Amino acid sequence: MRFPERINTIIPRVLSGLGINQTMKNWQILEKWAKIVGKRIAEHAKAISVDAENLFVEVDNPVWQSQLFLMKAKIIKKIKEYDANIKDIKFRIAESPGKNKEKL
């Protein structure tokens, strides 16, 4: 007779088998963004989404977009410390709140 397995040993194995484990690590980068880039940069750039290999970041102006583009390799290296599978970062300028109000 087999004894029941503990759920905390089953779930990681199932997630890994489905490939969800790596996806979850990628998504966790959104939560860790401020820790990765620092508070000052996080005030001007927000990680908003991920896919299989890309992190999508909104910045508040073109100057920050250029600066972060130059820092991309360093940021990716820090992301790798969290065992994420991010290979590229896509920066885009966030729409200003005033523009959204005009559309309504």
Res 100 pLDDT > 80: no
Residue 74 lies in a domain: yes
| 72, two tokens | 């991309």
Residue 40 lies in a domain: yes
Domain harbouring 71, CATH code: 3.30.300.180
Residue 1 lies in a domain: no
**Confidence bin at 92 (pLDDT 50/70/90):** very high
Specify the number of domains making up the chain: 1
**Confidence bin at 101 (pLDDT 50/70/90):** very low
pLDDT digits (tens, 9 = 90+) for 21-62: 788 889 999 999 999 999 999 999 999 999 989 999 999 999
Find out whether 54 and 89 touch, Cβ atoms under 8 Å: yes
pLDDT digits (tens, 9 = 90+) for 60-84: 999 999 999 999 999 999 999 999 9
- Report helix angle 20-37 to 7-18, nearest 10: 90
The helix, strand and coil proportions of the chain, stated in percent and rounded to the nearest 5, come to 55, 15, 25
Residue 17 lies in a domain: yes
Domain that holds residue 99: 7-103
Residue 44 lies in a domain: yes
**CA–CA separation, 42 and 39 (whole Å):** 5
